Chain A
Amino acid sequence: DTEVTQTPKHLVMGMTNKKSLKCEQHMGHRAMYWYKQKAKKPPELMFVYSYEKLSINESVPSRFSPECPNSSLLNLHLHALQPEDSALYLCASSQDRPASTDTQYFGPGTRLTVL
């Protein structure tokens, strides 16, 4: 089973709203990732959690706030977003082992539109 789930599938929000994106995996993976993807561009790494600790923050604006409540769940809290933040937000997970075979599996994504 290589399933990563994300909710919601679509989200429309105003610039003053607060919303959250959710990601879940039950593969026993210990690393979870948030990516942002704009049209016709590759995924752009935002955050990495390893064993529930934030290990990478790619200088993402503070209006994006990640949270990892446990090893299976990953949230992305959104506040005061800008229209240019509209994108496909992807969650991924991997076993986070040192061996070269560590592989990331992506969830279906949340299509976010900021009005």
Chain B
Amino acid sequence: QKEVEQNSGPLSVPEGAIASLNCTYSDRVSQSFFWYRQYSGKSPELIMSIYSNGDKEDGRFTAQLNKASQYVSLLIRDSQPSDSATYLCAVRISSTLGRLYFGRGTQLTVWP
């Protein structure tokens, strides 16, 4: 059983704050990690991918990966109301033909 767990949420932060989204996974051979943003009624949109331990920054988004702890996180700096969405953590295991294992998602609300 390959499990991906996300902090249950919902998460509510004020505009301008840092939003921290967390994800843990059970399979030690997990290889690639993705964060998708999904607005209500829309499809998932890739916002970050990370493959190596450490931090990866892209604008206001920072992904952090710690394979020893089986933990990946997403930080959103200077949160904006437009960041309000559900964030899906997805994990890819190389032995499973590219299959993605999704967490249940964390709903984020950024209030003005």
Q: Which residues of chain A have a CB within 8 Å of any CB of chain B?
A: 2, 31, 40-43, 45, 48, 50, 55-56, 88, 90, 94, 96, 98, 100-109, 111
Residues of chain B with a CB closer than 8 A to A103's CB: 32, 34, 46, 49
Are A102 and B92 CB-contacts (below 8 A) given A45-B100, A56-B99, A94-B98? yes
Contact of B51 among A45, A101, A105, A107 (CB under 8 A): A101
B88 at the interface (CB under 8 A from A): yes
In the complex, the chain A residue whose C-beta lies closest to that of B89 is: A42
Report the interface size class on chain B: 20 to 34
Residues of chain A with a CB closer than 8 A to B102's CB: 42-43
Q: Is the CB of B103 within 8 A of A100?
A: no
Q: Is the CB of A56 within 8 A of B34?
A: no
- How many whole Å from B72's CB to the nearest CB in chain A? 14
Q: Which residues of chain B have a CB within 8 Å of any CB of chain A?
A: 31-32, 34, 36, 41-46, 49, 51, 88, 92, 94, 97-100, 102-105
Q: Is the CB of B42 within 8 A of A109?
A: yes
